[in-house]
Structure 1
Amino acid sequence: MSAPLKGLKVLDFSTLLPGPFATLYLADLGAKVVHIESPTRPDLVRLMPPYANGQAVAHSYLNRNKQSIALDLKDPNSIALLYQKILEVDIVVEQFRPGVMQRLGLDYATLAQINPKLIYCSITGYGQTGLYKDKAGHDINYLALSGIAGYSGRQQSGPPPLGIQVADVAGGSMHAVMGILAAVIERYQSGIGQYIDISMTDCAVALNNMAAASSLAGGEHAEAEQTHLNGATFYDYYPTQDGRYFAVGSLEPQFMLALGQALELPVLLQKGASFDQADRAEVKQALRDKFASEPFAVWQALFQNLDVCVEPVLSLQEALNSPLAATRNWVVNVPLNAEAVETEPQLACPIKFSRSQASYQYIGQALGAGTWFKSTADD
């Protein structure tokens, strides 16, 4: 099968998570990605435990299918080498603070003079303009400023510290991939590239979609435990007798009816769709009492074959080893290098095509193991 992005060449200057995750998807889908790394200041992901096969597993995953090239970007010889190769490149991805690439002589304006077809994507916390452009930040800061944290969590305990980086990935990485591929399509019409400014905070704000639409129209202003999806209704998590949880999402009338019948809860049938706060509280308490009356395994057996939008809250290990994971191929075994028989299990690319497919050539390389500067333009 064909790789959908075969023929695109990407120069990746990013580190940590947002940029590398974006270019991981490009690499999985067939683009040739060359990861430029410092020979003296390693990407912190390279240092994060746990380790397997001699390196950090997070780095092995985020940088699979990519060539690693060690270059000192403060050395004029390194910059000269990049100038020589930039005509071969379709896309540049970088994640430095605004102004850093310009000081290095690797900014869009400079590189576009050499290669006018170049598509150049900068991923930062707050974008290339505005009051915050020079500030440092992390995912929790972007979620705080985006408004998402303001109506997430519980009124008593406040916003939850999430186990994943929502703004980094759903914001920065995914929007960067969308922007890059949109620019590739536009280049077929115009014949020239362009610059893409991705702010992880901007993109996190866009994730508010439904709540923001209501607020901007003068409707309901989202607050913790005050909307349909954040705890105001019975759409919520419920603890079982043994301290596990079930997720109840039975909002539609047919699912609400089936859930009420399965749990033998008349109050859900009578008041589940009510907008009255007292009715909602009564329904939620009835569900809490019901789920707390039996252990996790009992509810798992009951809901396994019921189509009512109720599912067990799984640990990550349970999820990755579940029947659903097996049937949807969530995990793939990736060769340690292009010639190796040994493999390392990693998360698969979730995008599935009818004719094309993702490729898994090798895990992230050791620092400087790439051969890009020795290769030909067609390699």
Structure 2
Amino acid sequence: MSLPLSGVRVLDLTRLLPGGLCTMLLADMGARVVKVEEPGKGDYIRLAPPLLDGVSPFHAIVNRNKRSLALNLKKEEGKAVLRRLISRSNVFVEGFRPGVMERLGFSFDSVKELNPTIVYCSISAFGHRHKMSSMPGHDINFQALSGALAVGRKPELPMVQLADLCAGMYAAVGVLAALARARRSAVHVDVPIVPSLVSWLILPLAMRLVAGRPPKPEDGLLTGSDPFYGLYETADGRQIAVAAIEDDFRHNLIRELGSPELESLAHDGGRGRCRAKRLLKKIFASKTRDEWHSQLSFKETCVTPVLDIGEVVGLGRIAGRTLSRGLIGGLLPSPLSFSPYGQTHTIRAAPRLGQHTTEILKELGYTEHQILRLEKSGVVQR
């Protein structure tokens, strides 16, 4: 049975992570995604280290389930190919700074003339209407400007590209919402990366408004004030995550730990909470992480082991799958399941640059002779 977005045609003119994630999500739900790339270069996420068998895992994951068309948009014949594609597509996604698509001749207004019902999605630092809209940047810049780097701690280089991922998710949501209306008219979905990430800082912003100062870790229930919500080191130097903030879970945890005095300390204000933290720290330091996992994780306590990424991959904890050298893109399959469709379809490997150029051009009506001429003139790459 086909997936929810089967039949939806998407043009991906983006590079790197935000737009790539957006169209990956759409492809995972059944959309037919054509990734338009510059001949000879392609999306430079292809070169992001480390390489596995010559393939970047970033490219393999983000660009799975897509077809690659190597097309030179600086040549008029290349633009003509893109116009044909636009007329047959439902979604157009671009991730350039405002003004670039206009200079190429593919602004929202121009694309709308070619396809009056298309969904046109733009992803940029601040969107098209902000005074800083032309500012260049990457994830660390956007996290820095959003305040996310300095929430309750000294800023440090992030290991997860939150801004890029956040913008990609918002872009996918915006496209899905716009598709419902696009049957009647074209829609421009403008996704600003920095404000997107700011919108995720719900608790820090709320604390700032209430306290009138930047939030500290000990301020909030979920950031350190509650002894039953936090991380504790175990006997083997690893950590356990405790989130027993509801009464039932807390009662179960206290019973399993055999320390009834924790109950009264939990309700004894700041001083009691500090004593409870010290006691919990001492208790959890008495056994290894895995011993606590065996004792607590399945006892309705909201206690889990803190895994490192090697354990997550090595133990097959990602949707029950393990890393395949032959298909790296299968490392992070879509977590979505659609009833009655079931899990999203079998993952197809990310394409090599220009792998589907011939196939796509023939679908547009180009003959082999015409394709060969385009190839010789540097318009396309196969």
**Shorter-chain TM-score tier:** 0.7 to 0.9
Q: What is the Cα deviation at residue 66 of structure 1?
A: 0.5
Conserved? CA contact 1:150–1:223, under 8 Å: no
Distance 1:366 1:297 in 2: 42
What amino acid maps onto 1:347 in structure 2?
L
Match of 1:365 in 2: 351
Matched, 1:288 2:281: yes
Quote the RMSD (CA, aligned, Å).
Answer: 2.4
Choose the corresponding residue for 1:231, options 205, 220, 224.
Answer: 224
Q: What is the Cα deviation at residue 348 of structure 1?
A: 0.9
Distance 1:268 1:231 in 2: 17
Distance 2:317 2:11 in 1: 35
Q: What is the Cα deviation at residue 344 of structure 1?
A: 6.4
Match of 1:202 in 2: 195
Conserved? CA contact 2:15–2:95, under 8 Å: yes
**CA shift in 2, pair 1:177/1:79, >3 Å:** same
Choose the corresponding residue for 2:245, options 244, 247, 251.
Answer: 251
Conserved? CA contact 2:293–2:303, under 8 Å: no
Q: What is the Cα deviation at residue 147 of structure 1?
A: 3.4
Report the secondary structure of 1:27's partner residue. Answer: helix
Q: What is the Cα deviation at residue 10 of structure 1?
A: 0.5
Match of 2:66 in 1: 66
Matched, 1:315 2:322: no
Q: Which whole-Å deviations, capped at 9, do the CAs of 1:119-174 have from their partners, x for residues lacking one?
A: 11011122222232122233333233323334344xxxx245432112211x2011
Choose the corresponding residue for 1:305, options 298, 301, 311.
Answer: 298
What amino acid maps onto 2:287 in structure 1?
E
Distance 1:251 1:124 in 2: 39
Report the secondary structure of 2:331's partner residue. Answer: strand
- List gaps (5 residues or longer) in structure 1: 337-342
Q: What is the Cα deviation at residue 14 of structure 1?
A: 0.7
Choose the corresponding residue for 1:240, options 230, 234, 239.
Answer: 234
Normalising by structure 2, we get a TM-score of 0.86
Report the secondary structure of 1:144's partner residue. Answer: helix
Distance 1:323 1:41 in 2: 34
Conserved? CA contact 1:145–1:201, under 8 Å: yes
Match of 1:182 in 2: 177
* Residues 1-379 of structure 1 aligned to structure 2 (within 5 Å): 1-153=1-153, 158-159=154-155, 161-169=157-165, 171-188=166-183, 191-213=184-206, 215-216=208-209, 218=210, 223-225=215-217, 226-234=219-227, 235-274=229-268, 276-322=269-315, 325=318, 328-329=319-320, 345-356=330-341, 357-370=343-356, 371-376=359-364
Q: What is the Cα deviation at residue 273 of structure 1?
A: 4.2
Match of 2:373 in 1: none
Distance 1:361 1:272 in 2: 49
Normalising by structure 1, we get a TM-score of 0.87
**CA shift in 2, pair 1:50/1:323, >3 Å:** closer
What amino acid maps onto 2:339 in structure 1?
S
